[in-house]
Amino acid sequence: MHGKNFATGVVMVSLVFTEAPAQTGVRVPETLTLEAAQSLLMDNSPALLSQRLNIDIEEGDVINAQKRPNPIFSGGSEGLLSSGDGSFFNNQELSLTFRQDIETAGKRQKRIRFEEADVEIAGMELKNAVRVLTFELKQSYFQVVLAQEDLTLARGILDQFAGVIRLNRIRYEQGEIAGGDLRRVEAEQYRFYEDVVAAEVSLENAQDRLLALLGSTDFDQYFEAVDSFDPQFVLPSLQELRGKALGQRADLTAQRARIARSDLGIDLEKARGVPNISPFVGYRRDFGENGAILGVEIPLFVSNRNQGGIARAQAQRRRHQQLARLLEVKVLGEVQLALNELAGNQRRIEALRGEYLEKSRQSRDIAESAYRLGGASLIEFLGAERIYRETSRLYNRALYDFQISRAQLEGALGGDL
In a domain, 347, yes or no: yes
In a domain, 56, yes or no: yes
- pLDDT of 3 > 50? The answer is no
Under 8 Å between Cβ of 108 and 64: no
- Report in angstroms the alpha-carbon separations of 289 from 81, 94, 366: 17, 10, 121
Contacts of 394 (CB under 8 A, 6+ apart): 352
- pLDDT of 409 > 70? The answer is yes
DSSP three-state, residue 50: helix
Residue range 3-11: mean pLDDT, rounded: 40
Average pLDDT, the chain: 86
In a domain, 198, yes or no: yes
In a domain, 32, yes or no: yes
Q: Which pLDDT value is given to residue 373?
A: 83
Name the pLDDT band for 7 (thresholds 50, 70, 90).
very low
In a domain, 156, yes or no: yes
> pLDDT tens digits, residue range 291-313?
888 999 998 888 889 999 999 99
Sheet holding 278-286, edge to edge: 72-79, 92-99, 278-286, 289-297
> pLDDT tens digits, residue range 43-54?
988 889 889 999
In a domain, 195, yes or no: yes
The residue among 417 and 385 whose pLDDT is bigger is 385
CA distance linking residue 302 with residue 393, whole number of Å: 78
DSSP three-state, residue 335: helix
The residue among 10 and 386 whose pLDDT is bigger is 386
In a domain, 362, yes or no: yes
Residue range 400-412: mean pLDDT, rounded: 93
The residue among 88 and 164 whose pLDDT is bigger is 164
- pLDDT of 76 > 70? The answer is yes
Least confident residue range of 1-5, 252-256, 333-337? 1-5
State the total domains in the chain: 1
Among 201, 176, 224, smallest CA distance to 373 is for 176
pTM of the model: 0.80
Phi, psi torsion values for 284, nearest 5 degrees: -135, 135
Residue range 361-367: mean pLDDT, rounded: 89
In a domain, 286, yes or no: no
- pLDDT of 84 > 90? The answer is no
Supply the DSSP string of 377-414, one letter for each residue.
-HHHHHHHHHHHHHHHHHHHHHHHHHHHHHHHHHHHHT
Residue range 333-339: mean pLDDT, rounded: 93
The residue among 365 and 171 whose pLDDT is bigger is 365
Name the pLDDT band for 81 (thresholds 50, 70, 90).
low
Phi, psi torsion values for 235, nearest 5 degrees: -70, 125
CATH number at residue 13: 1.20.1600.10
Residue range 326-337: mean pLDDT, rounded: 95
Phi, psi torsion values for 27, nearest 5 degrees: -105, 135
The residue among 94 and 31 whose pLDDT is bigger is 31
Among 215, 38, 5, smallest CA distance to 137 is for 38
CA distance linking residue 11 with residue 324, whole number of Å: 25
Give the structural domain span for 252: 3-68+124-257+323-413
**How many C-beta atoms surround the C-beta of residue 194 within 10 A?**
12
Longest dimension (CA), the chain: 141
Q: Which pLDDT value is given to residue 247?
A: 92
